[in-house]
Structure 1
Amino acid sequence: MVNKLIYQGRMVADIELKRTTSDVAYAEFTIAWSERYKEIETKCFMRCKAWRKTAEFLNKYFKKGQEVVIEGKMITEQWQKDGENKSRTICQVDNVNFCGPKQKDRDMDGFNPIDDGDDELPF
């Protein structure tokens, strides 16, 4: 069986990085996208969860409104609240990719700007 999802959408809100009691990083977030056919627009929202380095990467580089491509799989989380069984279907994120226009305020630690001065070329 195949359980592979690829979504391209926009971040609905800023990521809030959380940690489990054993200090494992995770982030829950929602991405949204829409498509239009004539006058009818269909909107879709997908709840997602990322763990460890992927969650930290999302928290560092992605903000509300920014485009993102996520790859993952569909899972159903189950729990009990007040004696009632609850469940929800989410995308468990495996990979995250940039897309859309470059963000000017993105923190690019470790990258040096290219000197585009008016110096003469060596050839």
Structure 2
Amino acid sequence: MLNRVILIGRLTKDPELRYTPAGVAVTTMVLAVDRPFMNQSKEKEADFIPIVTWRQLAETCANYLRKGRLAAVEGRMQVRHYDNNEGRRVYVTEVIADNVRFLESPNTSGGSGNTGGSQHSTGNQGNHDPFQDHGKPIDISDDDLPF
């Protein structure tokens, strides 16, 4: 038997990090995944899929994912139920993620925040080559040399 889910979509809000009474991290988030067709009004529709991550992955997602960010989620589908305050049985379908990939760098327009990958700030240098001095000597002290 096989229960495997792979999704790519955008977060609808920032992930919510909580801890169980035993101290285990759990993060919940919702991923908006576009449907591959348009409705009768020629508009795209999306499915809003609840995602749950646990332990270190939960903390990583909470720290680095933000609303609007594009992410790939791999995991398994789970259906659970509980009885609400009115005594009615409520069913919940969610994806338990065991792998989440951040598909955008924090500098793209899809969202804000940081991906957990290394970031190198270049300020407002743009594409300026710091080693381009038009043949002028470079002033480097002996202390700056790695050998």
- For the superposition of Structure 1 and Structure 2, which TM-score range results when normalised by the shorter chain? 0.7 to 0.9
1:24-63 equivalences under 5 Å are 24-35=24-35, 37=37, 39-63=42-66
2:14 aligned partner: 14
Please give the alpha-carbon distance, in whole angstroms, between the structure 2 residues aligned to 1:107 and 1:9. 15
The structural deviation recorded for 1:79 is 1.3
Aligned mate of 1:103, from 106, 127, 130: 106
Aligned mate of 1:118, from 128, 131, 134: 131
Aligned residues between the structures: 118
Distance 1:114-1:86 versus aligned 2 partners, 3 A rule: closer
Q: How well do the aligned residues superpose, as a CA RMSD in angstroms?
A: 2.4
Identity across aligned pairs (percent)?
A: 25
SS at 2:2 equivalent: coil
Runs of 4 or more above 6 Å deviation: none
Letter in 2 for 1:17: L
Distance 1:87-1:40 versus aligned 2 partners, 3 A rule: same
Please give the alpha-carbon distance, in whole angstroms, between the structure 1 residues aligned to 2:100 and 2:79. 20
Unaligned runs of 5+ in 2: 108-112, 123-128, 134-147
Please give the alpha-carbon distance, in whole angstroms, between the structure 2 residues aligned to 1:94 and 1:108. 17
Distance 1:86-1:106 versus aligned 2 partners, 3 A rule: same
Letter in 1 for 2:131: D
Please give the alpha-carbon distance, in whole angstroms, between the structure 2 residues aligned to 1:79 and 1:18. 19
Letter in 2 for 1:62: L
Letter in 2 for 1:31: L
Structure with larger Rg: 2
2:95 aligned partner: 91
The structural deviation recorded for 1:118 is 1.3
State the structure with bigger RCO (CA 8 A, min sep 6), 1 or 2: 1
